[in-house]
Amino acid sequence: MNYHFNIMNQEEVEQVIAWEYDGIYAFYDMQADMEDLREFRDVAAGNENYWSVYQNGGLIGFFCFNEHEVNQVEIGLGMNPQMVGQGNGLDFLTAGIQKAIDLYQPSSLTMAVAEFNKRAIKVYQKAGFIRTKTFIQHTNGGTYPFISMEKELDLHNSF
């Protein structure tokens, strides 16, 4: 797949904020948590940690990269609801992993995912992430179990 990455602009931020997911995945609607929505709206545009992803001229998702420790980068991501559930996840994630490597040359990547999101967990595991711990996250007006995942990278070999 051919993906094009740009540092997010305000128009892209507003598009992402308007995304609405079906069923249990509505949990990921930005409107579900006003604090998260405000933070995303305030910090994402023009921030070199937030990247919009395009394919065939359309905005298909975004990645957020945060360097927490030396050589370790946390990945956050979102995929356009029109692309979800169609087998695009692994290619999309692989492109984001490569972007993180290009930007930071980390020795490992981390991410967190809601425990109920079995579909995403399966994709992350296919990409080489392993579960490291479970924790409780306060979000969307409640508390939910999340899973921390990590992927070790050998930058001398392809991932």
Query: With bands split at pLDDT 50, 70 and 90, how would you rate the model's confidence at 25?
Result: very high
State the Cα–Cα distance between residues 111 and 88, nearest whole angstrom.
18
> Is residue 141 scored above 80 in pLDDT?
no
How many whole angstroms separate alpha carbon 96 and alpha carbon 80? Answer: 14
Domains of the chain: 4-110 (3.40.630.30)
| pTM (two decimals) | 0.91
Q: If DSSP codes are grouped into helix, strand and coil, which group holds residue 101?
A: helix
Backbone angles phi, psi at 107, to 5 degrees: -90, -15
User: pLDDT, tens digit, for every residue of 29-78?
Assistant: 998 888 888 999 999 999 999 999 999 999 999 999 999 877 899 999 99
pLDDT digits (tens, 9 = 90+) for 82-131: 999 899 999 999 999 999 999 999 999 999 999 999 999 999 999 999 99
Q: Which of 25, 5, 29 is nearest to 16 (CA)?
A: 29
First to last CA, the chain: 17
63 φ/ψ angles, rounded to the nearest 5 degrees: -130, 145
